[in-house]
Amino acid sequence: MDTADSTTISPALAEKAEANDLLTLGVEEEYMLVDAVEPRAVEAVEQVFDHLPAEIRGSVQHEFSRGQIEIASPPQLELKALSKALRDLRAGVADAAEAAGARLLAMGTGPAAGGNIRLVDTPRYHRMREHYGDLSPGPGMCGTHVHVSVPDDETGVQILNHLRPWLPIFQAATTNSPLFNGRDTGYASWRSMLWERWPTVGPTPYLRSFQQYETLVGDLEASGAMLDEGMLYWYARLSARYPTVEIRMGDVMPTADDAVLLAALARALVATLLRDVLDGVPAPDVPHPLLMAAHWRAAHDGLEGLNIDMATRETRPAWRLMRQLFDYVTPELERHGDLRTATVLMGRLRSEGTGAARQRSIMAQGGTISDVVDRFARLTRGDVPEK
């Protein structure tokens, strides 16, 4: 579905951003569609589209399976506007899902065992299924992508180099898929482990230039590891459609507030790193195996355990690294007008935990998979007050 009208930055917004030396941001979120009574995925996407209100249709699109749906917020400068856009989209799609006899669920994987969910009937998705076989996603596999504007592709590639050491802690903060097929997998983000089966999933390589980026994309397509540029599944990449850096390693977040915090931190980090790029500060060339280890640790522990401090290469409490990230980007949070909101939301994340921690808390208190799905369906649409 074409979403360009609603997700492409307007000339007026671009001019305002440039005049104030600010970066725009936008969020894409993927959701599951589950049965209205049982905690299982259902093939309801076409029926949901039938019930979508006209005002949000341009921001909603199909995903790979008929048990998923995706939204893309319009680009924004202010967090308040982004928050409203995400809340409106979540509520609108949730209403449409309920009218279709389903529920909208912001969780990274399907927590309960379910039957086979067919893919959406498009030539591209059929090609993916035929070419990659059982690697193609089943129910769930829902993520969050944050887009932050960059001046040009060459600068964007250098920002990708600087982002590499920071993304494991972003991944830890987004963990929201410990349950799969009716049990706890032992991972805070099981979606991450399923997703890593694909040949192009992983940390962005260290790149010398945009020319090398383009050459590598072409080589990967020629190899058959991906069918087109849209299948470049690095944890951060240049968007093929927009003048942005796209940070895309995280699970979908339980609430709109969780997504807003992630977006605020992503924009502040990109803005901080942009100044390093413009000042000629070289990016740390972190070894790829160490990044892989840190991302594995993020998927396993979330924020409740340990991760790797890329400066010292020692394991440290993940929350301490998250706080280090927050302190590092505080000047840009303040310059973009986001510091107060981000501080409040950071405190809430600290007290309530990641989505994975919240799911496990329900189970630890004697809850069932159905209880988890019921609670998270209400969180998804915003029926549970965000304190």
Find where tokens 């240049």 sit: 238
103 pairs with which residues across the strands? 34
Name the nearest CA neighbour of 248 among 263, 260, 261.
263
Q: What φ, ψ does residue 78 adopt, rounded to 5°?
A: -105, 140
pTM for this one?
0.94
CA geometry: angle at 91 spanning 90 and 95, to 5°? Answer: 120
CA atoms within 13 A on the CB side of 311: 5
SS3 330: helix
CA–CA distances in Å: residue 354 to residues 163, 255, 289: 22, 11, 26
Residue 283 has what DSSP assignment? P
Q: What is the mean pLDDT of each run of 10 residues along the chain (387 residues)?
A: 51 78 95 92 93 95 90 95 97 97 95 77 85 72 95 97 98 97 95 93 96 97 93 94 92 98 98 97 94 98 97 96 98 98 98 98 97 97 71
pLDDT score for 3: 37
What number of other Cβ atoms are within 10 A of residue 183's Cβ? 13
Q: Which two tokens stand for residue 151?
A: 């001046």
C-alpha torsion angle, residues 320, 325, 331, 332 (rounded to 10): -150
Q: Where are the domains of the chain?
A: 4-381
Sign of the four-CA dihedral 94, 97, 99, 102: negative
Burial 204-233 (b: 16+ CB within 10 A, else e): bebbeebeebeeebeebbeeeebeebebbb
Fold classified for 4-381: Creatine Kinase; Chain A, domain 2 (3.30.590)
The answer to whether the CB of 103 falls within 8 A of the CB of 97 is yes
